[in-house]
A = this chain, B = another copy of it.
Amino acid sequence: MSSNQKIDKRIKRTKKALQNALITLMQSHDFKAITITDIVEHADYNRGTFYKHYKYKEELLEDIIEEVIKDLVDSYRQPYQHTDSLTFNSLSASAVKIFEHVYAHANFYQLIIQSNALPGFHKRITNELKKLPLQDLAEIEPSPDIDPELHASYQAYAIFGMIMEWGEGGFKLTPAYMADQLLEMLKFSPVNSRFKIRSDLEK
């Protein structure tokens, strides 16, 4: 039944204990300041046991992240399974689900942000980009040839940016509001909108 039949009980037990220890320590300490010794002492395991499973604490953190990601994917797929919840459209429902997932794991996301688990570079450069007045758009003729890879990365990081901003504000806003904001920003995208259809007819 369960997805992991062959994994040794001891391994699961140990990994969970180490994960919990790290999470607990991250509540009060900067990620960088937490030592392997801290983790194993807090979890009451031998230091060698840690190294049997992980190379460094970042790897342990990634295990924790992996579980949260799993829930994110599940959350996203929910609207497609329960058609009754499709009040608006599928994207709107998915967007809500994504932000609801983050909201449900707000403690975790805030922990990641607070404990400086994600370091300086992307934060530094995106903060600088934020200052630049890129909002002022101009009129250009439409053209549909957008690189799908670039577009996917653009969209992914954009949503990630919304989550970061949300988290730095302490997750005060509601998931529904966040989803609405995302839809507002996406609204005029040509892909499936009436504008795209209209410009297609113009050809």
- Kindly specify which of A9-17, A18-26, A45-53, A119-127 makes contact with the partner chain: A119-127
- Using a CB-CB cutoff of 8 Å, which residues 147-201 of chain A contact chain B? 147-162, 164-166, 169, 178, 181-196
Name the B residues within 8 Å of A164 (CB-CB).
153, 157
User: Does A34 count as interface, using CB distance less than 8 angstroms?
Assistant: no
Contact A160 B125 (CB under 8 A): yes
User: Does A138 count as interface, using CB distance less than 8 angstroms?
Assistant: yes
**Contact with A135, one of B136, B139, B155 (Cβ below 8 angstroms):** B155
Q: A56-B32, A135-B155, A189-B137 are in contact. Are A128 and B161 (CB under 8 A)?
A: no
Contact B118 A119 (CB under 8 A): yes
Contact B155 A162 (CB under 8 A): no
When chains A and B are docked, how far (Å) is the Cα of A156 from the Cα of B159? 10
Name the B residues within 8 Å of A182 (CB-CB).
154
Contact A89 B138 (CB under 8 A): yes
When chains A and B are docked, how far (Å) is the Cα of A188 from the Cα of B126? 23
Size bracket of the A interface = 35 or more
Name the B residues within 8 Å of A181 (CB-CB).
146-147, 150
When chains A and B are docked, how far (Å) is the Cα of A121 from the Cα of B31? 13
Name which residue of chain B comes closest to A144, CB basis: B184
Contact B138 A88 (CB under 8 A): yes
When chains A and B are docked, how far (Å) is the Cα of A161 from the Cα of B157? 5
Q: List 21 A-B contacts (CB under 8 A).
A: A32-B56, A76-B132, A112-B121, A126-B160, A130-B156, A134-B186, A135-B152, A135-B191, A137-B187, A138-B192, A139-B192, A143-B184, A146-B184, A149-B165, A154-B165, A157-B158, A157-B164, A185-B189, A188-B190, A188-B195, A188-B196
Q: With A127-B156, A136-B192 given, name 16 new contacts (CB 8 A).
A: A69-B125, A73-B128, A88-B140, A94-B134, A118-B122, A122-B160, A126-B157, A129-B155, A134-B186, A137-B192, A150-B181, A153-B161, A155-B161, A156-B161, A157-B162, A185-B189
